[in-house]
């Protein structure tokens, strides 16, 4: 007879993004590239639920172009996770989920994790992380901390300009581990003499 494990719960996140579309795109892309929580028949499902209303605004669109009116956005999403895993023991599902959630917290600002993992034998594991435990995994953005590059920065589109002020479409250059277009003029003056390179996607 097959052994079964089950998982359900929610994760609250706040992905980077200047518009709602960019936030959603970044969150969906991160989820698509996380390790799998598996069963012999089906893997774990995730459902994205945007919180109601708006709680922030920006003056740029996804391409870094300044808008006449501010863009209202909602920063927070709930990720609902669910799964029924055949031919798995509790320890297998727990280990796979821990790898999944730690990778998510590393790439996206996460504030709350409430998960129940159980098995058909009656054993249950509860994961209840608060704010401090979640954010301890987060890798900071290059424009906030020198020498770090968050995985999501490779998904961000900017509108760089050439020396004549003409728009150059494409992904940003990085210098010394930081996105050039995110730096202040003072930081650019310090870092631009360093040889520029483009990041390797992974």
Is the model more confident about 81 or about 153? 81
Closest by CA to 180, choosing from 29, 9, 34, 64, is: 64
Per residue in 106-146, pLDDT tens? 999 999 999 999 999 999 999 999 999 999 999 999 888 88
Instruction: Give the residue carrying structure tokens 């901390």.
Output: 145
Spell out the CATH class of 4-135. Answer: alpha beta
Q: What is the DSSP string of 34-49?
A: SPP---SS---EEEEE
Encode pLDDT of 59-105 as tens digits: 887 877 777 788 889 999 999 999 999 999 999 999 999 999 999 99
What's the pLDDT at 198?
A: 44
Domain span(s) for CATH 3.30.70 in the chain = 4-135
């Amino acid at each position: 007879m097959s052994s079964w494990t089950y998982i359900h719960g929610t994760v609250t996140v706040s992905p980077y993004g200047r518009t709602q579309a960019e936030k959603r795109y970044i969150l969906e892309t991160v989820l698509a590239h996380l390790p799998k929580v598996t069963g012999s028949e089906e893997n774990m499902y995730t459902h994205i639920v945007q919180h109601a209303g708006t709680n922030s605004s920006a003056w740029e669109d996804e391409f870094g172009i300044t808008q006449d009116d501010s863009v209202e956005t909602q920063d927070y999403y709930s990720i609902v996770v669910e799964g029924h895993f055949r031919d798995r023991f509790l320890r297998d599902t727990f280990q796979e989920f821990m790898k999944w959630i730690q990778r998510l917290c590393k790439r996206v600002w996460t504030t709350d994790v409430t998960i129940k993992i159980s098995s058909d034998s009656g054993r249950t594991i509860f994961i209840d992380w608060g704010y401090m435990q979640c954010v301890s995994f987060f890798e900071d953005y290059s424009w906030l901390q020198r020498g770090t590059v968050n995985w999501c920065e490779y998904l961000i589109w900017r509108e760089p300009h050439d020396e004549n002020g003409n728009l150059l479409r494409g992904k940003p250059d990085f210098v010394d581990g930081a996105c050039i277009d995110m730096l202040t003029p003072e930081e650019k003056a310090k870092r631009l003499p360093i040889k520029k390179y483009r990041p390797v996607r992974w």
